């Protein structure tokens, strides 16, 4: 597995070594030891989630505050998404900056998102199936969110926002300046 660092501290891209032959393919999708050699990440995953969505669905920006922040390992099983994170760690060199990457069933890249990032994605293909691991259980009382189209953030979602399919909840999220955030 190739572990690729980003300009954001702790934010990693995992590129598996895919072994292909006439039977199909095989790859190791997670190796805790390899990740720990590249980052100060030592928390085991405790919950897996999976979501299927249609083209132009936009989910996010979501995070969990303390005491139950969630690190996530995101991958796509079918289709393609534009995956975006926003650094909400006050005092970070990349605070209030976003980073995006295309994750797809074809490229098999994975995104390891540490605590202190808001996360969202837009579906680029007719359908997409997203699978992700979390290092903390979902906790509704710790739930946080930021409005996906906050003009101050200027996030490029790689889809036409006027055609986006967005939940009522995500349309009502606060602007960044008004969001509750416990990350220092």
Q: Does residue 29 lie within any of the structural domains?
A: no
* Burial of 35 per CB tally in 10 Å (0-12, 13-18, 19+): middle
Can you give the CATH number for the domain in which 134 is found?
2.60.120.10
Q: Does residue 51 lie within any of the structural domains?
A: yes
pLDDT band at residue 40, thresholds of 50, 70 and 90?
Answer: low
Q: What is the mean pLDDT of the chain?
A: 94
User: Given this model, what pLDDT does residue 122 score?
Assistant: 98
User: Could you tell me what percentage of the chain is helix, strand and coil, using 3-state DSSP and rounding each to the nearest 5?
Assistant: 10, 40, 50
63 is catalytic: no
Q: Does residue 2 lie within any of the structural domains?
A: no
CA angle, 63 then 114 then 165, to 5°: 40
State how far the Cα of 20 lies from the Cα of 17, in Å rounded to an integer.
10
The residue from 62, 63, 115, 121 that is catalytic is 62
The residue from 63, 99, 121, 132 that is catalytic is 132
137 is catalytic: no
User: Given this model, what pLDDT does residue 43 score?
Assistant: 67
Torsion angle defined by CA atoms of residues 128, 104, 119 and 67, in that order, rounded to the nearest 10 degrees = 90
Which structural domain range is residue 167 located in?
A: 45-106+116-178
pLDDT band at residue 35, thresholds of 50, 70 and 90?
Answer: confident
Q: Does residue 31 lie within any of the structural domains?
A: no
Report the number of distinct structural domains present in the chain: 1
pLDDT, tens digit, 9 for 90 and up, residues 144-161: 999 999 999 999 999 999
Q: Does residue 1 lie within any of the structural domains?
A: no
Q: Is the pLDDT of residue 42 over 80?
A: no
Q: Is the pLDDT of residue 175 over 80?
A: yes
Q: Which pTM was predicted? A: 0.94
């Amino acid at each position: 597995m190739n572990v690729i660092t980003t300009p954001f501290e702790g934010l990693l891209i995992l590129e598996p070594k895919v072994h292909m032959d006439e039977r199909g393919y095989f790859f190791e999708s997670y190796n805790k030891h390899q990740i720990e050699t590249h980052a100060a990440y030592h928390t085991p995953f405790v919950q897996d989630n999976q979501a299927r969505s249609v083209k132009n669905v936009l989910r996010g920006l979501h995070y969990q505050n303390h005491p139950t922040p969630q690190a996530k390992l995101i991958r796509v099983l079918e289709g393609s998404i534009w995956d975006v994170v926003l650094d909400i760690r006050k005092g970070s060199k990349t605070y209030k900056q976003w980073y995006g990457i295309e994750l797809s069933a074809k490229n098999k890249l994975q995104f390891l998102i540490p605590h202190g990032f808001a996360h969202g994605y837009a579906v680029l293909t007719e359908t997409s199936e997203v699978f992700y691991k979390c290092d903390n259980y979902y906790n509704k009382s710790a739930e946080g969110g930021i409005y996906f189209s906050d003009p101050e953030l200027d996030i490029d979602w790689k889809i036409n926002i006027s055609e986006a399919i967005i939940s009522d909840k995500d349309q009502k999220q606060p602007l960044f300046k008004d969001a509750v955030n416990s990350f220092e």
